[in-house]
Amino acid sequence: MVVDRQGTPLRAFAGERGVWRHPVQLSQVSPLYLQALLTYEDRWFYYHPGVNPLSLLRAAWQAVEQGRIISGGSTLTMQVARLLAPHPRTLWGKASQIFRALQLEWHYTKAEILTLYLNHAPFGGPLLGIKAASYAYLGRGPDRLSHGEAALLAVLPQAPTRLRPDRNPAGAQKARDKVLDRLQKWGVWSADQVVEAKVERVADHYHPHPFVAPLLARRLKALSKNAHQGTIVSTLDSNLQQSLQGLVETLQGRLPLRSSLAILVMENSPKKVRAYIGSANFWDNTRFGQVDMVQAIRSPGSTLKPFLYGMALEEGLIHSESLLIDAPQSFDGYQPGNFNQGFHGPVSAREALQQSLNVPAVGLLKRLGSHPFVSRLRHGGLKLTIPGEGRPNLAVILGGAGSNLESLVGAYSALAQGGIAGKPRLTQDDPLIEKRLLSPGSAWIIRQLLASANRPDIPTSNLMRGGQRRLAWKTGTSYGFRDAWAVGVTDRYTVGVWVGRPDGTPSPGQFGAQTAAPILFDILNGWPARFWWAQPEPRPHSVQAVEICWPLGTAASRQPADHCHRKRVAWALHETVPPTFLADQPTMGTREPLVHYWINPATGLRVQGACGLANRQPRSRAVWPLPLQPWLSADLLSRSQPPPLDPDCPKEPPPSPTPFALIGLQDGEHLRTPSIDALSPPIKLSRLGGEGPTYWMVDGKMAAKVAAGETFSWPINQPGWHPITAMDENGQFVRIRVHVAKE
């Protein structure tokens, strides 16, 4: 039998011959049962040497007088001897039974002999032992029995087949009352107790054996060194487990056909699993219910991103508000896109993590290195598999590797444990295996970033709930909508949810935020306060709050005011405030973060070196990375541009740029379309100049990527102003605004 941490049965397994026998000790049996058993079966059990001569003589006299065997005169010790070594009902068989009983008394104590009886006595059908019978007929263990239930279980071994309560409740009740009368006769129980016990009706129910956490129980049985007998004590909490199984039953209607789900709840501090849901329905073959998806290797989608940002913090690559680029980019030929097919332009590391943006994450992994990232994850206990003989590459951060729910939950617990991840423990005997995955400071910062993300199920004003129910959460979706993930971390627990089809078939439209996250929130919202509260984790000394400026990304106190276009407060690690990454890819155009120039102090206008002005003064402007400029407002763009040239001063001829223009529409143009959308012809747009493919953005979202020389068809069916941007692979762009009106 597999039991929870308090001994409550979860699932029982039959023996090799289909027999149900659950080991039990004397201390686990109600004293009422022992009183009923000994009074009815063997009042002199603790005094005779295994055989009661008076009982044997009485049985022999009854047999002679009646011409048939009325009673066997057997003691409990003799009954144990017959159970362990069956014999025919003959004089020779009785003699053998007596000899075995004397042997038992010689080698074992009375308590040990009584324990043998409790574990081997027949109770009807495949039930052997008091514990199996108690669960089958009463629905609970033998430690909590009423007077009537104790008397019933005491008499059943007398005729286990004939007196089975589920088949002959009237006969079982009559036999029970006979035991109660004898207990009253010998003064063991009072008349009031017996009268009250007789009121209890013997039910004809046969309670099925416990079937809670069936997949975990099967797993533990397979791992057990003694799989055919004994009790396996798991770490589960049966109340929480059954509560989640009930929730899953109600959630099945939400799931697509043939989809399953898995849920794992682990207490952070001892790393012990408290609930384990391996599938949506164990008995549903259409959902592959007997496949344990807690252990299944699947693509983790974006669930690895928090660890990437944490490691980047430790390496001094970023702080929490570092300016990152979310724009079309190519990383050695790898061109990732975002889940929603759009781009956001300038984003902070915090925003990129909370919104799970792909391009900033890939750019960050390129600087950190795929091999060091995967190596650190594995060293920290997070299992990652690369298909075939493949080597880690940039696709790892978007799900290009394999992991499982159990490993992810163990890794995410590091966010609440100062960066210490651990292997989830399934039994009370499992050793505690912990490894450092992140530093205390980076783990604390990443948890703050994930906990500050808006939850769709709670209004922003109620997000913190007084600071007591703080949840750091992250979702993920694998390629082709095959796997939907959600992981949540509270002070006390880490909860992981997976949804998908076990056979790997895509489920279009099912992704982490829509499918797995609502299940995670349903689980957590139903928890009482004690599941949330724990000792608040203080901010590590290695973490500081620093005011920084965009676009340079460095501390505001270390740069002139005119270089600071936007201010933000960032979490920094070890007082490290790294500058914004340059667009260091050949396809994006490298340039310095500052533009240096001379001005005429009299006019404030820019002058060139050939001007020869004696009192010219040096100036500089902070420049935004080139790929971000299509997303900048006119004000931010102007603040990063040097002043115009002084017309009264000779100037050097500027370098001739590659011609670049948008063909098909002009800035500020007004368009009128028919009132019926179907009759609106698309506008053909193309670009002049530039290199490589063209990235077309409409209303700030990626609309298309077309090859050089090809046109872009824009359906003009939405009224209002529309910004349109064309960008080549070198970062050159042109932006216009046009107005569409219905006739």
User: Does 368 map to a domain?
Assistant: no
Q: Which of 41, 267, 314, 321 is catalytic?
A: 41
User: Does 205 map to a domain?
Assistant: no
Identify whether residues 171 and 253 lie together within a single domain: no
Assign residue 279 the CATH number of its domain.
Answer: 3.40.710.10
Identify whether residues 42 and 109 lie together within a single domain: yes
User: Does 382 map to a domain?
Assistant: no
Identify whether residues 604 and 556 lie together within a single domain: no
Identify whether residues 177 and 57 lie together within a single domain: yes
- The per-residue pLDDT for 433 is 96
- What whole-number distance in Å separates Cα of residue 641 and Cα of residue 242? 64
Identify whether residues 27 and 58 lie together within a single domain: yes
DSSP 8-state code for residue 320:
T
- The per-residue pLDDT for 87 is 73
How open is the CA angle 644-722-686, to the nearest 5 degrees? 80
- What whole-number distance in Å separates Cα of residue 436 and Cα of residue 424? 15
**9-11/2-3 β-pairing:** antiparallel
Q: Mean pLDDT in each 10-residue stretch from start to end of the chain (743 residues)? A: 89 82 90 94 86 64 52 78 80 78 90 94 92 89 93 94 93 95 94 94 84 94 72 93 94 87 95 96 92 96 97 96 88 76 88 95 94 95 84 92 97 96 95 96 96 78 52 92 94 95 88 90 84 76 95 90 92 93 51 78 82 82 83 84 82 54 79 63 78 82 82 83 82 82 75
Identify whether residues 179 and 238 lie together within a single domain: no
Biggest CA pair distance of the chain: 142
User: Does 386 map to a domain?
Assistant: no
Give 410-431 pLDDT, tens digit per residue. Answer: 999 999 999 999 999 999 999 9
Structure tokens at 651: 């100037």
- The distance of Cα 76 from the centroid of its chain, to the nearest Å, equals 52
- The per-residue pLDDT for 61 is 55
Identify whether residues 4 and 73 lie together within a single domain: no
Assign residue 161 the CATH number of its domain.
Answer: 1.10.3810.10
330 is catalytic: no
Q: In DSSP terms, which residues pair with 726 in a beta bridge?
A: 696, 734
DSSP 8-state code for residue 514:
I
User: How many C-beta atoms lie closer than 10 Å to residue 444's C-beta?
Assistant: 23
Identify whether residues 78 and 185 lie together within a single domain: yes
Identify whether residues 521 and 552 lie together within a single domain: no
User: How many C-beta atoms lie closer than 10 Å to residue 207's C-beta?
Assistant: 14
| Domain hosting residue 597, numbered range | 586-639
Identify whether residues 503 and 482 lie together within a single domain: yes
Residue 133 phi/psi, 5-degree rounding, is: -65, -40
Tell me the CB-side half-sphere exposure of residue 182, using CA atoms within 13 A: 19
User: Does 654 map to a domain?
Assistant: no
User: Does 146 map to a domain?
Assistant: yes
Assign residue 703 the CATH number of its domain.
Answer: 2.60.40.10
- The per-residue pLDDT for 466 is 44
Give 184-200 pLDDT, tens digit per residue. Answer: 999 999 999 999 999 99
For residue 502, the SS3 value is coil
- The distance of Cα 310 from the centroid of its chain, to the nearest Å, equals 19
**2-3/232-233 β-pairing:** parallel
- The distance of Cα 92 from the centroid of its chain, to the nearest Å, equals 65
- The per-residue pLDDT for 586 is 40
DSSP 8-state code for residue 89:
S
User: Does 251 map to a domain?
Assistant: yes
302 is catalytic: yes
- The per-residue pLDDT for 335 is 79
What is the SS3 string spanning 669-708? CEEEECCCHHHCCCEEEEEEECCCCEEEEECCEEEEEECC
Give 631-652 pLDDT, tens digit per residue. Answer: 888 888 888 888 888 888 765 5
Residue with tokens 């053998």: 96
Contacts by residues 532-540 (CB-CB < 8 Å, ≥ 24 positions apart)? 532/468, 532/469, 532/470, 532/490, 532/491, 532/492, 533/468, 533/491, 533/492, 534/490, 534/491, 534/492, 535/491, 536/491, 537/416, 537/418, 537/444, 537/491, 539/444, 540/418, 540/440, 540/441, 540/444
- The per-residue pLDDT for 73 is 59
If one counts the domains in the chain, the total is 5
Q: In DSSP terms, which residues pair with 661 in a beta bridge?
A: 688
Residue that finishes a domain, picked among 177, 199, 221: 199
Query: Do residues 728 and 691 make contact, with C-beta atoms less than 8 angstroms apart?
Result: yes
pTM of the model: 0.80
Q: Which of 74, 134, 238, 302 is catalytic?
A: 302
Closest CA to 41 of 78, 2, 4, 93: 78
Identify whether residues 165 and 227 lie together within a single domain: no
Identify whether residues 675 and 606 lie together within a single domain: no
Query: Do residues 220 and 3 make contact, with C-beta atoms less than 8 angstroms apart?
Result: no
Cα distances from 569 to residues 45, 136, 189, 307, 443, in angstroms, run 80, 63, 76, 22, 18
For residue 364, the SS3 value is helix
User: Does 562 map to a domain?
Assistant: yes
User: How many C-beta atoms lie closer than 10 Å to residue 173's C-beta?
Assistant: 19
- What whole-number distance in Å separates Cα of residue 482 and Cα of residue 233? 35
